[in-house]
Each structure stands twice: as C-alpha cells, then as structure tokens.
Amino acid sequence: MDNLQSIALAAGLGWASGIRLYAVLFIVGLVDKMGWANLPQSMHVLSHPLVMGATGFMLFVEFFADKIPGLDTIWDAVHTFIRIPAGAALAASMAGADSTVMTLVAGILGGAMATGSHVTKAGSRALINTSPEPVSNWTASLTEDALVVGGLWAMFTNPVIFLIGLGIFIILALWLLPKLWRALKSIFTRINHAFDGGTAAHNHAQSQSERKTDLIEKTI
C-alpha cells in the first residue's frame, strides 16, 4: 500500500464514518473478508463473522432510523460521541503498528474528517427537518447512502479521484457550515421568542385576572 493510498484510506474512513459509521465498518469488513484490498493486520478484526454480524445489524437499524424525520436528528446527536472517535480510530488503524507518529497523524486526520462530515450531515438534516414533508428527508438520506458507498469504492479503487472528490466536499462544507449555523440559530431564536411571547401573554392574562379579582373583593 503506497503513501497516496494510505492517505486516501485514512481520510476516507474518517470522512465516511462521520456520515454512515456502521456502513463503513461492514463494508471494510466485507472488503477484507473477500480479499478485495490488502488491509493492515489491525483491521482484520472487522471481517470476523461476529463483528460483521453486529455491524450488519446496526447498518440495518441506521438505514431506517436515518429516514424517519426527527428520529434521524436524535440519532445524529447521540452518534456525535460515537462517529468522531470511531473515525479517528479507524484512520489510525490504517497506519498499522510500525510508526507511532504516522498512527497519530492518521488518527488526527481521520478525526478531523469525521467531525467535518458529521457536523455537515447533522446540521443539514436538522434544517431539513423543519419542513413538514418527509420527501426531502428521504432524498437526503438516500443521497448520503449513495455518497458513502461511492466514496468507499473510489477510495479503494482510485485514490486520486477520491481525494479530488474529498477536496470538493471539504470546500462545499466550509461554504455551507456558516449558512447552516445562521439558519439553525434563526430557527431557535424564533422558537425562543414564540415561547417567551406565550409565557408573557399567559402572565399578562393571569395579572389581569388577579386585578379583576382584587377589584371585585374591594367592591364587596
């Protein structure tokens, strides 16, 4: 495995883990099982039948959970603490045990890629969920499925094409993330104002009722 392919695998595993962790684990295990790529010894555990059974089951669960509006955002929130460290660990394992420095560099690269892709995915889906119709949610989820599978295929078969595509994704993510943040912040602000307005109206009505009660008591 040359340096270019090692970089592509480390960055790619981190990036894909931030979107579909269990798909990555299952597909990498399948690739190793079938002998389609020469993976480091540290990754052979992913092709163990029990491990593939567990990752396959979680892949099945995530496939449907990610397509239910609202549940997908909860799923993303919980997996913030799973996808990012898993992406870093997978990337680090690509370096093998020969070089501590390269293992650390790969782990940092994979963790950064996992963070970027996860935040972009989670933010986009949270914004999409503000729409009442589910079609856009299903379309986004299926697009992510295809993106991860296609990205993993390119990562193993053509590292140069994959790295070019990953560079385009990074540029788009850097452009999109500030816009996502402003849009979500605006939505949360409106919700907060609506809640504060409802509370103020309730307090005003309660105050009016208390004043009427006091007036009646004084009249009596």
Distance between CA atoms of 18 and 82, rounded to whole angstroms?
9
Residue 63 clears pLDDT 90, i.e. is over it: yes
| AA identity, residue 121 | K
pLDDT value, residue 94: 82
Please count the CA atoms within 13 angstroms of the CA of 186 that sit on its side-chain side: 8
Mean model confidence pLDDT for the chain: 87
Find, among 62, 17, 59, 25, the residue nearest to 45 by Cα. Answer: 25
Query: What are 6-61's pLDDT values in tens digits?
Result: 889 999 999 999 999 999 999 999 999 999 988 888 899 999 999 999 999 999 99
Banded pLDDT at 102 (limits 50, 70, 90): confident
Handedness of CA 82, 137, 120, 155 (dihedral sign): positive
- Output the 3-class SS for the chain: CCHHHHHHHHHHHHHHHHHHHHHHHHHHHHHHHHCCCCCCHHHHHHHCHHHHHHHHHHHHHHHHHCCCCCHHHHHHHHHHHHHHHHHHHHHHHHCCCCCHHHHHHHHHHHHHHHHHHHHHHHHHHHHHCCCCCCHHHHHHHHHHHHHHHHHHHHHHHCHHHHHHHHHHHHHHHHHHHHHHHHHHHHHHHHHHHHHHHHHHHHHHHHHHHHHHHHHHHHHC
Distance between CA atoms of 5 and 155, rounded to whole angstroms?
8
Find, among 128, 126, 66, 58, the residue nearest to 86 by Cα. Answer: 58
Distance between CA atoms of 213 and 76, rounded to whole angstroms?
51
* Across 149-161, average pLDDT: 94
Token reading at 205:
């009505």
For residues 215 and 140, which has the higher predicted lDDT (pLDDT)?
A: 140
How much of the chain, in percent, has pLDDT values that exceed 70?
A: 84
